Amino acid sequence: MKAIVDCNSFYCSCERLFRPDLRNKPVVVLSNNDGCIVSRSDEAKQLGVQMAGPYFLARPIIQQHNIAVFSSNYNLYGDLSWRVMETLRTLSPTVEVYSVDEAFLDFSHIPENELEEAALRVRERVEQWTGISVSVGVAPTKTLAKLANYHAKKNKALSNCIKVLAKDRHIAEALQATRVSNVWGVGRAFANKLINQGITSAWELSNMPEEWAHRHMGGVTGVRLLRELKGSPSIDLDDPLTTKKMIATTRMFGEPVGDIASIREAVATYTTRAAEKLRRQHSAAGIVSVFIVSKEQDHLTDFHHGPTHSTHITLPVPISVTQELIKPAVALVDRLFKNGKEYKKAGVMLSGLVPDQSIQGNLFAAPEKKNHRELMDIVDNVNFSMRNDMLKFAAVGTTRNWKMRQELHSARFTTRWDELIEVS
């Protein structure tokens, strides 16, 4: 048996944790640059606030009902997510972190008659230890567990945020009550294709033959999905990915940027962040890629992105030193930037990653002295302990007028000493 634990309206739950006055009140959290709504409390959903809708379109209903609005606070969300996952590891021998607010657990060692009690124990411990409310779905496969969780969240008062699908009749009932568009792994476009073929429910999809799935649902991937719906485990729990194969840092600008100096500063800053992540996993990068996204000129579609312009460079020798990564990244900006255009977003990607202790030398490149690793360790340690980029390179600038808007940002209660909540 597999279980999935899903935090309820995770970003909103994080904001409410330190604002008890917002309990049972409508709350929404905005995306980067305060652009769209990415998280809604149940109360906000009931008032008609649309998920992923532009903030400026939702502002009238938000003001009418006095809905609390927050900018994304990733420091807070990341720390609370880590606390949730560490709590889950005390309850299950195997935990696969699926996203910032979801994780699969191995329940194969639990007898069928104890599954509901085990799910309740998971929910209660997470809520008691972290303050974050969760829903738990349990079933023989990961796809059915996601479906069980969907029904647990659909009617929290009735389900107590727990749904166990262990018996065939319970699985059949849940499949019949689920639209095919709500099946994990079925995207919107493919759901429309299935509906046009007369398959409207998960139950109808589960009764299709495997040959049909192989032909119409992307080959092996479709067959696995079908087997999972039939109760046959075909997608195993994955081990946590400890070493990434690519590292990226991307951000929206606070407002459109038209001067190359600001874009250079932004790219240098993003390269600094990516280099820190690179060293954290003891890797070095052989390829640096940069992209910038231009502002859409049509005023009718002004909130959409324009075209993306990207390029990359292969380094003579893989490196992890920040200043040596900033140089090629900034040079790539000069290739991409065009005068007279405004840009809304930029990003840096580091790939071609290798362990930094086993870098193959280049006959035609001068060797680095200790790869400046000692200096980088000092910079990383100071910045981690003191925060707020106490040590930084001049290329990242000082004013940073291009930084994304976060006008409704809450305090970083769990990761900054000077922002700890005060209790009197």
Same domain? For 30 and 123 the reply is yes
Closest of 74, 100, 97, 128 to residue 7, by C-alpha: 100
- Give a yes or no: residue 25 inside a domain: yes
Give the CATH number of the domain where residue 284 resides. Answer: 3.30.1490.100
Q: How far apart are CA 195 and CA 190, in angstroms?
A: 9
* Domain boundary, last residue among 150, 166, 182: 166
- Give a yes or no: residue 193 inside a domain: no
Q: What angle do CA 141, 232, 222 make, to 5 degrees?
A: 90
Task: List the structure tokens of 204.
Answer: 């109808």
- Give a yes or no: residue 355 inside a domain: yes
Number of domains in the chain: 2
Give the CATH number of the domain where residue 45 resides. Answer: 3.30.70.270
pLDDT of residue 384: 80
Q: How far apart are CA 377 and CA 279, in angstroms?
A: 9
Same domain? For 265 and 141 the reply is no
Residue 222 near residue 143, CB atoms below 8 Å:
no
Task: List the structure tokens of 135.
Answer: 């829903």
pLDDT of residue 368: 58
pLDDT of residue 301: 47
Residue 1 near residue 166, CB atoms below 8 Å:
yes
Output the CA torsion sign for 357, 363, 369, 373: negative
Same domain? For 391 and 255 the reply is yes
- Give a yes or no: residue 179 inside a domain: no
- Give a yes or no: residue 212 inside a domain: no
Same domain? For 133 and 258 the reply is no
Which residues in the chain come in under a pLDDT of 50?
299-302
Question: What type of residue sits at position 192?
Answer: N
Q: How many helices (H) and strands (E) does the chain have?
A: 15, 13
pLDDT of residue 299: 47
Question: What type of residue sits at position 135?
Answer: S
Same domain? For 141 and 251 the reply is no
Same domain? For 261 and 134 the reply is no
Closest of 377, 292, 282 to residue 330, by C-alpha: 292
* Domain boundary, last residue among 146, 166, 186: 166
Domain carrying residue 94 = 1-166
pLDDT of residue 239: 61
Same domain? For 150 and 11 the reply is yes
Closest of 230, 266, 80, 84 to residue 143, by C-alpha: 230
Question: What type of residue sits at position 217?
Answer: M
- Give a yes or no: residue 229 inside a domain: no
Same domain? For 262 and 154 the reply is no
- Give a yes or no: residue 175 inside a domain: no
- Give a yes or no: residue 375 inside a domain: yes
Same domain? For 146 and 21 the reply is yes
Start-to-end CA span in the chain (Å): 47
Q: How far apart are CA 335 and CA 378, in angstroms?
A: 33
How many CA atoms lie less than 13 Å away from 91 in the CB half-sphere? 25
SS3 content of the chain, % helix, strand, coil (to 5): 45, 20, 35
If 0-12 CB within 10 Å is exposed, 13-18 middle and 19+ buried, where does residue 387 land?
middle
Output the CA torsion sign for 377, 381, 382, 388: positive
pTM of the full structure: 0.80
